[in-house]
Amino acid sequence: MTEPAPYTEADLSLIKRIIPHRYPFLLIDKVRDIVPMKGAVGIKNVTCNEPHFQGHFPDEPIMPGVTIVEAMAQTSAVVVGITTNTIDKELGTYFMAIDKCKFRRKVVPGDVLEMHVTVLRGGGKVWKFKGRAEVDGELACEAEFMAMMDIKG
């Protein structure tokens, strides 16, 4: 494996150099506290302007649970990109499993969602993570998930 990229934080520009997601499915705004092969904290500023709130739900906007899990996965993909130094390369990230997923509170416009992800297993093509999504220190979602990382460039 190559040396990790020398970043402990990723702004939106760097995130877009690591993962292929774009609007309306780029679900993280920043990643901080990046430690290669260990984990990081992703940040999502939840706003009322996001397209899923038009239908989920018009009178009571709630961030869909699947998008919270996806935000944790995107945070994890940034950790992989930094760990494997695959910035500006095509990093395909594909879910393989989601286990022990539980939702504990609503996430609504105005919330700052923090995705705390930890690498449980990694280094090859298949990585496993544990994630906790929190708002103001209160647990919103937790899950373990596996993904295949396909570096194409």
Catalytic residue, from 21, 52, 56, 116: name it. Answer: 56
How many Å apart are CA 131 and CA 76, to the nearest integer?
9
Decide if 116 is catalytic. no
Q: In this structure, are residues 76 and 28 in contact, taking their beta carbons and an 8 Å threshold? A: no
Amino acid at 126: V
DSSP 10: B
Nearest to 120 by CA among 26, 10, 37, 14: 37
Catalytic residues: 56
